Structure 1
Amino acid sequence: MGECWPVPEVLAYLAGRWGVTRSVWDLASGAEGEFTGTTEFRTEETGGLLHHESGVFVWQGVARPAERTLRFLPGPGGSADVRFADGRPFHELDLTSGRHIADHPCAADLYRGEFTVRDADHWRTVWHVRGPAKDLVLRTDYARES
């Protein structure tokens, strides 16, 4: 993976617009998909960031529009408290070392995310989703847009 790039203040680092490429693999069936689009982190009155992602998801040859919204709230020591749009907790995010592992249990499934900051303008997440009906890997690369 290479060296990690430490980020003392995650919200300051993420603020702005990012190009997004996500690969999705279903390890059980062998099916693959890809999402391409943009993510924008906009400052909210709370001091946190509103994360809005939109683009096109292609799954087994079928393209569909896709979007999601998350909230990144200020956490201790330059970290973030990541929430779903409705306020439910998702995970913590501390990039002071340039790398972070987050777990999110969802019903019978476990989502484990690895966040790696490559440099000032590139970061990656890799989520492994495992459960009775799921065995997925989602790898997302972010590149800052000017």
Structure 2
Amino acid sequence: MPRERTSQSSAGRRYPVADAAAYLVGRWSVERVVRDLTGGAEGRFSGTADFRAADGTGTLAHVEEGRLDWDGRTFPAGRTLRLRPRGDGTAEVEFADGRPFHDLDLREGRWHTVHPCAADRYEGTFTVRSADEWRLEWRVTGPAKDQLLRSVYRRRLTGC
């Protein structure tokens, strides 16, 4: 997938990550704003994201669980993805059933990717802000969707 090249000043603060899978391992809190740009509705997801060993091959399961507040109602929400590390610090992200989703390269602290889904287009931008925070923005366009999803992931520290 193409890598977006943006100057440091216009991209904001970035934190280069040599190995995406090693960086992501662990538990993260997730706060997400979901906007329907056609109708103007807005919702919020709050929960956790766990990146943990999925099998003996180095693959990570990315499991999100939480709640979505939408239109005055609260729903349980979640998703599961798989992250397959490559030997160069990058990774392939797949849906839980093994279908390809996108590549992930955080070595410059920022990654831009595109995923076509039927007639819709998902454009994602990952930005690593620090050892303990990264952000993800998905812009979804097409005949079925016109959405913006902005997520902030913060590492949950373990211990006493």
Q: TM-score range by the shorter chain?
A: over 0.9
TM-score of the two chains, using structure 1 as the length reference: 0.97
The residue type paired with residue 66 of structure 1 is A
CA RMSD between the two structures: 0.9
In structure 2, the gaps of 5 or more residues are: 1-10
Partner-residue secondary structure (3-state), 1:72: strand
Amino acid aligned to 1:30? G
- Does residue 17 of the first structure (1) align with residue 27 of the second (2)? yes
Which residue matches 1:124?
A: 135
Say how many residue pairs are matched. 146
Amino acid at match of 2:50: E
Write out per-residue CA displacement over residues 32-81 of structure 1, whole angstroms, 9 at most, x where no aligned residue: 00000000000231102111000001111110001110000012510010
Q: How does 1:24-63 map to 2 (within 5 A)?
A: 24-44=34-54, 45-63=56-74
1:51-130 equivalent positions in 2, closer than 5 A? 51-130=62-141
Residue of 109, 130, 142 corresponding to 2:153: 142
Higher Cα Rg, which structure: 2
Other structure's SS at 2:106 match: coil
Work out the CA distance in 1 between the residues paired with 2:101 and 2:44: 23
Where is the strand percentage greater, Structure 1 or Structure 2?
1
The aligned residue for residue 133 of structure 1 is 144
* TM-score in terms of structure 2 length: 0.89
Contiguous gaps of at least 5 residues in structure 1: none
Which segments of structure 1 move beyond 6 Å, counting only runs of 4 or more?
A: none
State the distance in 1 between where 2:107 and 2:153 align.
18
| Aligned counterparts of 1:46 and 1:58: Cα–Cα separation in 2 | 36
Identical aligned residues as a percent: 55
